[in-house]
Amino acid sequence: MFFKRRSSRANSYVEHDAPPRSQSFDDYSEKRPDSSRKESQQQQQQPTSPTEDADMYPRPQQPQETQLPTRGLSNGHNSMPPSMTPRAPAVGSAGGIQPAPMPDLLAQAFNQAIQPYTEKIEQLEHQLADMQNWVDQLEQQRAEVHGWIDKRGLRPDVPPSIAKIMDTTTPDAAVALNAQLDRKITIVNFDLHRLQDDLNDSISSSHFASAMLKFLPDIQRLALLPQGPRHAFDLVLKLGGNLNSHGGIDSADAGDIAARRDFYSRLDTAMVDVVTRRFGEGEEWSVQREIKRIEKTASYLKTYGVEPYFPQTLETMKRELEFQPHGNGVPNGQGTPPRYH
């Protein structure tokens, strides 16, 4: 059992407790030396962190994107790996978060629907390119074949289908056809004369005329080409001159004279078309000189009873000549058209 000691001063019980906190701290600080007291004051005056001098919670003036560290904390075993670090959501121009774009299902369906047609179009394009190459090769081969035909002078002998292609695709087709026809007519005429000499007998005018008339379709073909009528004009006159040089005109044979008249009549009909086309091209040519040339041959044949000689051709040329302006430099066929009665 504990008993409290009675104080002698106040006649009471006094407990010897510890001095008050404030009194003991003050007494302790007063009893500390001056050096330790100054160090304590300096430590209290120094800031604990560099941010204590400024505002404790600085706020940015404008919104900024939050950047999270890409590496986990090095201390501790609960740090997140770099691949699992969450990223801050993107902030749009208006400050809102832009969601990830949704897949365009309609565009995907459309692309899948047109894919077979796209592949078919690509296949057709490849086939078209192959066909174009094939056509180019055929055109090159055709040009080589046409050159081979012209080199051997076979243009007048080709089939009509090939002749039409050659006349429309070959440059200077009229010149080439005229040269080959002229050469072939000369060769046939020479062969007929040599055959006549070998037989020691004259070939009838009908046979000679039939050989010359075989060239008439080719001459008419020549007249249809550009610049072809002037060449056709000379070839028709050449056919008539070959028969004239054949001889036998002085025999006064009725059959021979009838064959000659029929031959000249057919030449006259073909010549009218040639002359008309030549006037239509507006070519400058000496019409009067050609008229005199035909009239001279006609007067020679007339003495042997062979007439007429190109009567329709002469009439067409004279009528056209009457309506041609003189001295004004206008080419033939460009003046007032002739009046047909």
Residue 338 in domain: no
Number of domains into which the chain is organized: 2
**Shared domain check, 302 and 258:** yes
Give the whole-angstrom CA distance, residue 299 versus residue 310.
12
pLDDT tens-digit map of 193-249: 888 877 777 778 888 889 999 999 999 999 999 989 999 999 999 998 888 777 666
**Statement to judge: residues 155 and 203 lie in one domain:** no
Identity of the highest mean pLDDT range in 7-11, 105-109, 214-218: 214-218
- Of 332, 228, 320, nearest in space to 274 by CA: 228
Q: Quick one: pLDDT at residue 44?
A: 52
Single-letter amino acid, residue 127: Q
DSSP letter at 66 equals -
Residue 52 has pLDDT above 50, yes or no: no
Q: Do 151 and 261 lie in a common domain?
A: no
Angle (CA) 34-35-41 rounded to 5° is 90
Is residue 229, in this structure, part of any structural domain at all? yes
Structural domain span for residue 166? 126-170
Tokens 């610049």 appear where?
Answer: 227
Residues 146-181 pLDDT 10s: 888 888 888 888 888 888 888 888 878 899 999 999
| 216 and 315 belong to one structural domain | yes
- 240 and 316 in a single domain? The answer is yes
Residue 262 covered by a domain: yes
CA atoms within 13 A on the CB side of 300: 11
Q: Do residues 196 and 132 both lie within one domain?
A: no
State the pLDDT confidence band at 117, using cuts at 50, 70 and 90: very high
Whether residue 157 is contained in a domain is answered as: yes
Q: 6 pairs with which residues across the strands?
A: 13
pLDDT at 327: 41
Per-residue pLDDT for 275 more than 90? yes
Q: What is the mean pLDDT of the chain?
A: 75
Indicate if 302 and 285 belong to the same structural domain: yes
pLDDT tens-digit readout, 252-270: 677 788 888 899 999 999 9
190 and 262 co-located in one domain: yes
Give this prediction's pTM: 0.58
The answer to whether position 11 is within a domain reads no
pLDDT surpassing 70 at residue 24 = no
Which DSSP letter does residue 7 get? P
Q: Are residues 166 and 189 in the same domain?
A: no
Three-state DSSP at 156 gives helix
336: left (phi > 0), else alpha (psi -120 to 50), else beta? beta
